[in-house]
């Protein structure tokens, strides 16, 4: 017997599709309200503090102020979003760590042992989709300043996958290690504010760069790779069973899109990780070369000083 297809987000709320959609709409408006608050806060900050931008050139300072006023609210909301969903992602991993492989990839009905943990994952998923919808609206409104066609394609694809997962109740544990990858976005947004405010060098920027690279490799390379191995090697039989009417009944095409996107995301992270690694290596090489140059100049000055003192004595 074929299992009837659920309504959108039906497996994301005990009340079914309608309450889940109400949460989605509420979350979209919540992100927009946060955007308006951020916009107001940045304007007030510029009116009351004169040293937000440290660039000494007035032309550059005016341009930086314009950029921060126009794009800063979106980056501020992204910072809050990444901070919040990362914390929730850690909570999801902890709550489902001891679950069986099937409970890790399938949200069971109301009688399920991990029902509460599953619904918390579904709640974060709706919050995440709402953020993607909110962000796409602003990307289109300010196109292409916040991102181009690639960003729109990324948002639409992952929103589609999240809708599939929320509708059929699949991949709760996998969503946990995917969303924890937003940890690196925290430092990426922080870095953007430092650079746009003229803080292009210094210990703080170096520390933020280090935290960005470290969090990226920890979450998007190490954890992501471990998650892929667990899903495709240790949970393959459970993964294949998801399309069965006795389990979720998710169409193979939809399941294939979700699994394909996770693999594509993994490959992209490996590619981006290699670029970050090369940039870090170049930075260390430049620092070493600069240190060697400084040391050589200091040695030359010392030798010249000794030579001058000898000449004077003679």
How does pLDDT run across 196-227, given as a tens digit for each residue?
999 998 999 999 999 999 999 999 999 999 99
pLDDT value at residue 313: 54
Q: 178, 92 in Cβ contact below 8 A? A: no
* pLDDT category of residue 159 using cuts at 50, 70 and 90: very high
Tens of pLDDT, residue by residue over 104-144, are 999 988 888 999 999 999 999 999 999 999 999 999 999 99
Which sign does the torsion angle of CA 95, 100, 106, 112 carry? Answer: negative
pLDDT value at residue 292: 46
Mean local confidence (pLDDT), 147-166: 95
pLDDT value at residue 310: 57
pLDDT value at residue 101: 96
Residues 178 and 203: their CA atoms lie apart, in Å, by 30
pLDDT value at residue 279: 87
pLDDT value at residue 104: 97
Compute the mean pLDDT over every residue in the chain, rounded to the nearest whole number: 90
pTM, whole model, 2 decimals?
0.89
Tens of pLDDT, residue by residue over 32-55, are 999 999 999 999 999 998 888 887
pLDDT surpassing 50 at residue 64: yes
pLDDT surpassing 60 at residue 286: no
Compute the C-alpha angle 66/67/68, nearest 5°.
Answer: 95
- The neighbouring-strand residues paired with 106 are 170
187 closest CA partner among 203, 206, 200, 159:
206
pLDDT value at residue 276: 92
Instruction: State the DSSP string of 113-142.
Output: TTHHHHHHHHHHHHHHHHHHHHHHHHHHHT
pLDDT value at residue 288: 46
Question: Helix or strand or coil: residue 55?
Answer: coil
Residues 87 and 267: their CA atoms lie apart, in Å, by 24
Using CB atoms within 10 Å of the CB of residue 248, give its burial: 0 to 12 exposed, 13 to 18 middle, 19+ buried.
buried
pLDDT value at residue 51: 84
* Count of Cβ atoms closer than 10 Å to residue 58 Cβ: 8
């Amino acid at each position: 017997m074929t299992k009837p297809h659920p309504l959108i987000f039906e497996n994301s709320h005990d009340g079914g599709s309608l309450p889940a959609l109400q949460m989605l709409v509420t979350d979209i408006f919540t992100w927009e309200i946060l955007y308006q608050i951020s916009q107001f806060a940045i304007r007030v900050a510029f009116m009351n503090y004169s040293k937000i931008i440290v660039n000494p050139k007035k032309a550059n300072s005016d341009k930086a102020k314009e950029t921060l006023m126009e794009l800063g609210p979106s980056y501020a909301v992204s910072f809050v979003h990444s901070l919040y969903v990362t914390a929730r992602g850690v909570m999801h991993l902890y709550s489902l760590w001891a679950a069986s492989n099937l409970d890790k990839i399938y949200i069971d009905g109301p009688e399920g042992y991990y029902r509460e943990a599953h619904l918390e994952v579904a709640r974060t998923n709706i919050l995440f989709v709402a953020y993607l919808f909110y962000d796409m609206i602003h990307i289109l409104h300010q196109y292409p300043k916040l991102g181009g066609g690639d960003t729109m394609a990324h948002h639409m694809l992952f929103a589609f996958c999240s809708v599939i997962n929320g509708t059929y109740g699949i991949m709760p544990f996998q969503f946990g290690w995917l969303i924890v990858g937003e940890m690196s976005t925290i430092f990426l947004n922080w870095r953007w504010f430092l650079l746009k405010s003229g803080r292009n060098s210094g210990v703080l920027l170096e520390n933020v760069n280090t935290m960005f690279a470290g969090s990226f490799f920890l979450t998007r390379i190490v954890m992501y790779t471990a998650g892929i191995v667990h899903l495709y090697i240790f949970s393959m039989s459970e993964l294949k069973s998801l399309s069965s009417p006795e389990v979720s009944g998710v169409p193979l095409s939809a399941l294939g899109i979700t699994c394909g996107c996770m693999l594509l995301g993994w490959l992209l992270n490996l590619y981006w990780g290699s670029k970050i690694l090369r940039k870090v290596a170049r930075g260390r090489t430049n620092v070493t070369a600069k240190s060697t140059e400084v040391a050589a100049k200091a040695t030359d000055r010392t030798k010249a000083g000794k030579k001058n003192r000898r000449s004077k004595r003679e």
